[in-house]
Amino acid sequence: MDMGLKDKVFALVGGVAGMGLDTARLLAAEGAKVALIGRNRKRGELRARKVGDEFGADVQMFVADGTVKGSMDEAMAQIVDRFGRLDGVCVTAGTMQTRKTMLELDDDDWEAYFQSHVMVTVRANRAALPHIIAGGGGTIVNTAAYSIRAMKPPLLGYTTMKTAIAAITKNLALTYGPQNVRANTVCPGFIASESAERVMQLAAEKYGLPPIEAINKAMKEDYKMDVALGRIGLSTEIADLFAFLLSPRAGYLTGATINCDGGTQF
């Protein structure tokens, strides 16, 4: 199926690893031009070159730190200078960081969560929007988490920030829809990716099983996640959804908050 992505330009914040990198591969395979945004230039350039060579696509790395004021503005301007336009942005940055409850979270924990999740998303969206609007419209895809609909006690800081991201995205859809901008939120479940490797390794050590088998067991016994499909998700499965939402195939879909979690909450 032709997704209508040929020659469109997308910025992927957090695109140098995990779900973001898998999204880059899908977009490149469809003929899109891709800008990976991350903090590690060496790693980003290596991966951009690899994806570009694999698909014969124009894939470039742009360095930015979303926790720093002005950094995203500079990166988005550089992307438009390089490619001539910007059709969409997908933000996948932000990690779980700590597993703490209210009495365990201090002000520094809250500030770290706020900066690495909410402000990275705000700064990326705010920097991209003028360029997207100038090109006649486009798409924004932000990442929250399934836990915004199924609260887990030790994920308070993480889930609070992800809930804010879903609210921000809904507002963008309503505010900028008249300017032909679509905005949607994806809520992944537990996904096998680079950022989850440490958690998977700990589960493997605990249960004496290979990482994938161990985390599937831990999801049910430790995290109390009854997944209908009975397994952890793959980053490529989230990337499939990202690519669809970025594409014209999702042309009438905006303001949605979509779980992609194997059926942890219906």
User: How do residues 37-72 score in pLDDT, each as one tens digit?
Assistant: 999 999 999 999 999 999 999 999 999 999 999 999
The structure's pTM equals 0.93
Average pLDDT of the residues of the chain:
93
Torsion of CA 233, 236, 241, 247, to 10 degrees: 180
pLDDT on residue 97: 64
Compute the average pLDDT of residues 105-115. 95
Show the DSSP H helices in 15-119 as ranges: 18-29, 41-55, 71-83, 107-113
Query: Residue 134 is inside which H or E element, if any?
Result: helix 120-134
Distance, in Å, from the CA atom of 152 to the CA atom of 166, rounded to the nearest integer, reads: 17
Contact 203, 238 (CB under 8 A): no
List Cβ neighbours of 167 (8 Å cut-off, separation of 6 or more): none
pLDDT on residue 264: 81
| Burial class for 33, CB neighbours closer than 10 Å (0-12, 13-18, 19+) | buried
Distance, in Å, from the CA atom of 186 to the CA atom of 260, rounded to the nearest integer, reads: 7
Contact 163, 144 (CB under 8 A): yes
Query: Facing residues of 182 across strands?
Result: 139
Looking at residue 233, its amino acid is G
pLDDT value at 169 more than 70: yes
**Angle of CA points 57, 62, 65, to nearest 5°:** 145
- Band the pLDDT of 12: cuts 50, 70, 90: very high
**Encoding tokens for residue 224?**
């109390």
Beta strands in 153-262 (DSSP E): 181-188, 191-192, 233-234, 257-260
Closest by Cα among 138, 119, 105, 109 to 71 = 119
**Encoding tokens for residue 94?**
């932000």
pLDDT value at 199 more than 60: yes
Q: Among the listed ranges 110-114, 152-156, 175-179, which one has the minimum average pLDDT value? A: 152-156
> Which contacts (CB < 8 Å, 24+ apart) does range 107-113 have?
109/157, 110/157, 113/157, 113/158, 113/160, 113/161
**Domains of the chain and any CATH numbers:** 9-190+233-260 (3.40.50.720), 195-224 (no CATH)
Distance, in Å, from the CA atom of 233 to the CA atom of 242, rounded to the nearest integer, reads: 14
φ and ψ of 190, to 5 deg: -80, 120
The string of pLDDT tens digits covering residues 13-38 is 999 999 999 999 999 999 999 999 99
List Cβ neighbours of 53 (8 Å cut-off, separation of 6 or more): none
The string of pLDDT tens digits covering residues 219-260 is 777 777 778 888 889 999 999 999 999 999 999 999 999 999
Q: Among the listed ranges 91-100, 148-157, 175-184, 244-253, which one has the minimum average pLDDT value? A: 91-100
